[in-house]
Amino acid sequence: MPELPEVETVRRTLVERVVGRTIERVEVLKPSQVRHPDPETFAAELTGARFTDVERRGKYLIFHLGPVRLVAHLRMTGKLLFMPAHLPYDKHTHVVFHLDGGWQLRYVDMRTFGGFHLLFPEGEGTPRGLAELGPEPLGDRFTAAYLAEALASRRSARIKAVLLDQTVVAGLGNIYVDEALHRAGVHPERPAASLGRAEVEKLHGAIRAILGQAIEERGTSFRDYVDGVGERGGYVAFLQVYGREKAPCLTCGTPIVRRRVAGRSSHICPHCQPEAGEN
DNA sequence: TAATGCACCTGTGGGC
DNA sequence: TGCCCACAGGTGCATT
């Protein structure tokens, strides 16, 4: 579910609410959601800890609590909700951080794919996915030249698969890859190495522009996503292809088609995104 | 080595 | 109306 704009929105809603608060108790209702260390150590280490910052790397949220860091990944359906302690638990509430002042930070996840890692000062416990993340797409390291080099180095992989690879660029998911490829006029099944310089620059600009606007709109609520206080995102109104199968392309009027590419449902305008490319 | 397919788990929606 | 099946925004591991 949540891609970079959604995770960034959750971060922004939580940072102003949890920083300065102390965890009085940790309730682990579904132990498998705690990936590292064991749930007992996890709860013991966090009890009494105070939030000092919340940062984001790709789709990971990283809560700073003195010497330890709490890493959360929401995967498809995870939600982190800051709410009053008196409200009843949702059916899929798996971990509850009881905070001072009568508040709770709840982890709710219907499909249970997400979870937590606790990182110790020496770096022990860092999930591999976090350690191997590529550059932030809105950061200085993600340049058109970097993207061109990354795409050229892939032998035959399709552009869609490469953009979804978190070691190439951190934070893109199915929705924003489809939107960026459409804006750049690139078909998702094109071999990554086949893109010309102008196409790569257009794609680079599209990725940054779309993610920037999606953050401003507080993300895309297509199905389940809500931010840290339960609000839905507004970028769904700006989607050009994702979720618009059979609807006319907003650029040229050609019906949008849906096809499986790199194992993922992909939305394409056959006119704006020719399979052969422009080179 | 790189690319691809599948599993993880639950809910929803479409087809019959 | 109800049952069954395919599919869903991510990632890691096994297989090719």
Quickly count: other Cβ atoms within 10 Å of residue A40's Cβ: 12
pLDDT in tens, A208-231: 999 999 999 999 877 778 888 888
Query: Residue A244 CA to nucleotide B4 C1', Å?
Result: 27
Chain B bases having any atom below 7 Å from a protein CB: 2-6, 8-11
Closest protein residue to C9 (Cα–C1'): A1
Query: Residue A219 CA to nucleotide B7 C1', Å?
Result: 28
pLDDT in tens, A70-109: 999 999 899 999 999 999 999 899 999 999 999 999 999 9
For A115-134, what is the mean pLDDT?
Answer: 88
Q: Please provide residue A103's backbone torsions phi and psi, each rounded to the nearest 5 degrees.
A: -110, 160
Query: Residue A18 CA to nucleotide B4 C1', Å?
Result: 41
* pLDDT reported for residue A246: 86
Closest protein residue to B5 (Cα–C1'): A263
Contact A2, A59 (CB under 8 A): yes
Residue A279 pLDDT > 60: no
For A127-148, what is the mean pLDDT?
Answer: 93
Residue A113 Cβ < 7 Å to strand B: yes
Chain A residues 39 to 98 whose Cβ lies within 7 Å of strand C are 58-59, 73, 75-76
Euclidean distance between CA atoms A208 and A267, whole angstroms: 19
The residues of A annotated with a catalytic role in the active site are: 2-3, 59, 264
Q: Greatest CA span in chain A, whole angstroms?
A: 61
H-run or E-run covering A259:
strand A257-261
Residue A117 Cβ < 7 Å to strand C: no
Q: Please provide residue A175's backbone torsions phi and psi, each rounded to the nearest 5 degrees.
A: -65, -55
User: Peptide bond preceding A37: is omega within 30 degrees of 0, i.e. cis?
Assistant: yes
What's the pTM value of the predicted model, to 2 decimals? Answer: 0.96
Query: Residue A93 CA to nucleotide B3 C1', Å?
Result: 37
